[in-house]
Structure 1
Amino acid sequence: MSDHAEKEPETPPAADPRAHGYVLDEQIGYLLRKAYQRNAVLFGEKVQCGLTPTQFAVMARLTELGSVSQNQLGRTVGLDVATTKGVVDRLHARGLIETARDPNDRRRQMISLSEAGWHLFEENALIGIEVSNETLAPLTQSERRSLLKILKKIQ
């Protein structure tokens, strides 16, 4: 090796979390992401209809709201405009939702479940409940109630 060979950059030593106070395993975002990953894996294993958890949530909301604007639908499930459009487009392509112009405001697109969408959701609703129960399985009933109450409070 010549004297001019590039040296590999040195890896900085591992930091002691006490030095900066940031312990990843105690951060809410990290813990929520890990819990969501567990839920998403269970969902993927159990719900065998090719829907993502987000698509399933949109369909669930449509069972509650009926016909609703795309904008309102996205807000009620916590999605940004672009993500809502993508979910709606994919569900529409599968024939699971129907779209129509709002008769009161032609600029607004109204979204509702199609008959096929209703059937698919109804076939999987109990499985969705099963996924939630399995996600929460490590908790006692009291802990489950507390967790859900706290999560609702911080949203």
Structure 2
Amino acid sequence: MSDFKSILSSDYALEKQIGHLLRRAYQRHTAIFQKEIPDIDLTSVQFAVMTAIRKLGTAPIVQISHETAVDHATLRDVVSRLKKRGLVQIVQDKADRRQRLVSITPEGKELIEATIPVAKKVTELTLAPLDECERIAALHILGKLAISDS
């Protein structure tokens, strides 16, 4: 690959742009997730939300949104679908009637526990084209990009 300055100064090449490459990598990861995860109705976003709820315990939607980086409108829809499947439950906060608290059900916990080992395999398959050093670098770089506020 050319050096960074030549990428920026040359004609705009979509296939060399960070947004395009991130989107393509995410599409590949999502395809691997859907192929490997045994529950065909569980999306990667639903899995992330359930994993966050498992970690947080009973939590308000706003806290789950912060933990998962899923916007409120999308999160409400995801939680509603998970509730319909009996994987989470929603109750009104007794201290603040405006808040809705979400927790994982025993069925949801069972699904997450069964899915986590497969999700680890999905990560391995996603990173498979990279050697070990590149895997560490990729995760480090993506971690920095994910939390940067500039």
The TM-score, its normalising length taken from structure 1, stands at 0.85
Superposed displacement of residue 113, structure 1: 0.6
Q: Deviations over 1:75-129 (max 9, x none)?
A: 2111111100110000000000011112221110011110000001111110000
SS of the counterpart of 2:90? strand
Identity of aligned residues (%): 38
Q: 1:119 aligns with which of 105, 110, 113?
A: 110
After TM superposition, the structure 1 = structure 2 runs for residues 32-51 of structure 1, keeping only pairs within 5 Å, are 32-49=22-39, 50-51=41-42
Larger gyration radius, structure 1 or structure 2: 1
Q: Please, which runs of 5 or more residues in structure 1 have no aligned partner?
A: 1-16
Give me the CA root mean square deviation: 1.6
More helix by percentage = 2
Superposed displacement of residue 145, structure 1: 1.0
Are 2:76 and 1:76 aligned? no
Residue correspondences, number: 139
Q: 1:140 aligns with which of 99, 107, 131?
A: 131
Q: Distance in 2 between matches of 1:115 and 1:54?
A: 20
Are 2:100 and 1:100 aligned? no
Runs of 4+ in 1 over 6 A off after TM superposition: 17-20
The TM-score, its normalising length taken from structure 2, stands at 0.88
